[in-house]
Structure 1
Amino acid sequence: MAEKHTILGGKVHVYKRPNSSVWQCSTYMHGKNRRVSTKEESLAKAKEFAEDWYLDLRGKKSRGELVSEKTFKQAAERFEKEYEVATAGERNEVYVRGHKARLKNHLIPYFGDLGLSQITPGKVQDYRIFRLKEDPDFKPPSRSTMHHEIVTLRQVLKLAIRHGWLAALPDLSEPYRASHKVSHRAWFSPDEYKTLYTATRENAKKAANKPWRHSAEQLHDLILFMANTGLRPDEVNRLEYRDVSIVDDEATGETILEIEVRGKRGTGYCMSMSGAVVPFQRMRKRNSPEATDLLFPHDHKKQFDRILSETGLKIDREGNRRSLYSLRHSYISFRLLEGADIYQIAKNCRTSVEMIEKHYAVHLKNSIDTRAVNVRRSNRR
């Protein structure tokens, strides 16, 4: 049972929580319960602190400085309820859970008791510094992790603006940030890609009489399939056999796959390279699937990482870690190196020309028309 005392005619309560050595004080003023720690172990000193604190609050109220406003925690709780309902079916469940995890683990513990108007650019910068120095025994969060946390913070503050709880959005940009060089995403060069699929083919052969034979064969076909379609990993994970058709392409005279893709950009279409046909036929023969069965019902990330480590392909020359996503980057890079039209690549990969130019500019040399660049004006007499 908490020990409790009242002062100033019952307007202020001084109490001590169980298992705590310091006194707390509380009062109700301007439509809100307010409480603070006295940080004192002596009851007499705690009462003195509580009196001064109450009188200071009353002075602020008379001057109009005591504003009753929503706290960040209240806005965050409202955001969680609204966001999940409003984005049902439009946002990936993992993405929604990520917002909740960032609020619960980091943002609410730091900003929770603050009024929304108290979240200033300086306070946000203090949060960045706090996160980077939070625990010296653990690796500090990456730039990407910090970016996602600030995105979640911005979403909550935007909700507060919509409900009239906050007048304007504070500047959340990162000060002192230098512009970053443009570097291409991790991919496999043609020689590295050959090394990769040769390794997975040998891995499948070695597993011929093993319990994991099916998984090894599926991994090999997954790599060939992704490198010849440019699909994102999440798009591949959603593919059902009824989404894929083998067709004869009139434009090239080749047999290719026509794929109906469901991913983060909604429903789109992909015309594969001819190299995707044989892996698809092998999977259809191996699995004897129903039309609604998934092409790749199991996760192959650990297998793939093991192959990358064994072949020395896990890290590229710029220190980027390769993953299944690198096969999509390789597909786009191969098409650019072959001189394919960048607009058609963007359409087939369900992305934008701007994104390709930004992340794959190193491969655009074949799309530059030297006749248009190396123009020389003739000298006039």
Structure 2
Amino acid sequence: MPKDKVINSQSFHDGKVVLYQLENRPKQLWLCRLKVPNGTGYLYRGTGTSDLYEARKFADKLYDEIRLRVMIGEVVTSKNFPKMLAEFEQNYPAEAPSPKRVEDILQFLKNYALPYFSKNKLTELNEVEVTKLFDWRRQNYKRKPPSNTTILAEMSNFKVFADWCYRRGHFKKKVEFDRPSLVESPRSHFNEKDWAKLTRFLREWVKDAKHKSGPILRDRTMMINYVLILANTGIRPGEARTLKWSDIDTFIGDDGKENIVLQVKGKTGPREVVSRTPDVLIYLQRIHELRTKERGGEKPPMSEPIFAHQDGTPVKSFKKGFNALIKEAGVEYDTNGQRRVIYSLRHTYATFRLQEGVNHYVLARNMGTSVKMLENFYGHTNNRAMASELTKTRSKDRKKLPWEEKSATAVSSPDIQSRVHADNE
């Protein structure tokens, strides 16, 4: 019963329905408290009238409706969304494919789903409730209105939560809802002309850095190799952040060529990424040489992040440096007027690989994405172009990596001026 003082009270149906009036309430309207038949909890409703006879009619009708809904298996009491969210946050990480996936889902649930369902009580999750949630989401944002792509991603995140709640018995029915189909515009990437312009600029950038202070030279060395590695592997910035020296491997393919493999942990879980070119090993060597020099000739431990500060801690973001780089190089915007971002390196990788005839399925697996996503954003390619890829077998032969040699001497690497042109293919 409410905390306010009750001045009148009437009970019916063996106490399952109670009508009451509260002190200091305008018009002295009757309120109704109804015990859920064969269940737990109460429902509270306002009758909208101060007439006891009309209030009784309202209560009887409500009681009959609730009994019918219970009989056909509907859930009539409000779910405690904060408790469901707390349980999800505690248990889902053990089931999730990656910490990044957990972070993305919880960010949406806490920033938007929780505030929405604190104002709009949740009885049963269904398509109507989900539609209302995302209608509200489009009007409520922190910095700018969400794009359709953002809404689709958040719907996927919410679906994971809803399915988890169903498996845990919070909902009797599995929620199903349609996500709007969108005609996506191409994602910002570097075309061949701008990529060539950027790689030519990198040579001058390196030359200029040699005449500057130590920190500038270090930052540019790290940035250049970061750009070349991401553009030739297609890994996500978040995957690069957690990449360690122990995650690098090699194998000799059936064609006799050396291949570089990166073990990454992305939002879709761990996977092997085969780099486009063995030159990626050269870019890694440059970073390894830099770290060995900074450590007084001692090699960095295999557990150290590849993209690390001088103290060995991971570089959290290259965003500021990358934005300055492409602006100075004159390639800040693509041909559609979209501002390029670090993710543009991943999109560049995908675009160039498809143009070179790589099969969608093979490429999707290497990138940790779906064929549908590639088709939506990057167009189509010849399905027969990668027939040889699907019939290859992998050799188990393995060469030692440069930093695995017994000598602690840093691996010397070719000057970027002689190597960067290899990426302009």
Fold in common (TM above 0.5)? yes
2: CA distance between counterparts of 1:224 and 1:206?
A: 19
Q: Which residue number in structure 2 is paired with residue 291 of structure 1? A: 302
Matched residue type, 1:192: D
Q: Which residue number in structure 1 is paired with residue 262 of structure 2? A: 259
- C-alpha displacement at 1:258, in angstroms? 3.8
Cα gap change, 1:238/1:109 in structure 2, threshold over 3 Å: closer, same or farther?
Answer: closer
2:249 touches 2:261 (CA, 8 Å); kept in 1? yes
244, 247, 250: which one pairs with 1:243? Answer: 247
Matched residue type, 2:102: V
- C-alpha displacement at 1:98, in angstroms? 3.2
Cα gap change, 1:53/1:337 in structure 2, threshold over 3 Å: closer, same or farther?
Answer: same
Structure 2 gap segments, 5+ residues each? 12-17, 293-299, 308-313, 388-425
- C-alpha displacement at 1:301, in angstroms? 1.6
Q: Which residue number in structure 2 is paired with residue 78 of structure 1? A: 84
2: CA distance between counterparts of 1:114 and 1:342?
A: 41
57, 61, 71: which one pairs with 2:63? Answer: 61
2:160 maps to 1:145: no
The secondary structure found in structure 2 opposite 1:274 is coil
Instruction: Indicate the RMSD between aligned Cα atoms, in angstroms.
Output: 4.3
1: CA distance between counterparts of 2:374 and 2:140?
A: 37
Within a 5 Å distance, the mapping from 1:68-217 to structure 2 comes to 69=75, 73-74=79-80, 77-78=83-84, 80-82=86-88, 84-88=90-94, 90-111=96-117, 112-116=120-124, 119-134=125-140, 139-162=144-167, 166-169=171-174, 172-173=177-178, 180-181=182-183, 183-207=185-209, 208-209=212-213, 211-217=215-221
Q: Which residue number in structure 1 is paired with residue 9 of structure 2? A: 8
Q: Which has the higher contact order (CA 8 A, sep 6+)?
A: 2
1:195 touches 1:311 (CA, 8 Å); kept in 2? yes
- C-alpha displacement at 1:285, in angstroms? 0.9
- C-alpha displacement at 1:292, in angstroms? 1.4
Matched residue type, 2:83: E
Cα gap change, 1:173/1:217 in structure 2, threshold over 3 Å: closer, same or farther?
Answer: same
Q: Which residue number in structure 1 is paired with residue 223 of structure 2? A: 219
29, 33, 39: which one pairs with 2:42? Answer: 33
TM-score by length of 2: 0.66
- C-alpha displacement at 1:70, in angstroms? 6.2
Q: How many aligned positions are there?
A: 354
2: CA distance between counterparts of 1:367 and 1:259?
A: 25
Structure 1 gap segments, 5+ residues each? 40-44, 370-381
1: CA distance between counterparts of 2:114 and 2:370?
A: 36
Cα gap change, 1:335/1:134 in structure 2, threshold over 3 Å: closer, same or farther?
Answer: closer
- C-alpha displacement at 1:306, in angstroms? 2.6
The secondary structure found in structure 2 opposite 1:259 is strand
2: CA distance between counterparts of 1:25 and 1:223?
A: 66
Cα gap change, 1:367/1:169 in structure 2, threshold over 3 Å: closer, same or farther?
Answer: same
2: CA distance between counterparts of 1:172 and 1:94?
A: 24
2: CA distance between counterparts of 1:59 and 1:356?
A: 55
**Identity percentage of aligned residues:** 23
1:224 touches 1:275 (CA, 8 Å); kept in 2? no
TM-score by length of 1: 0.72
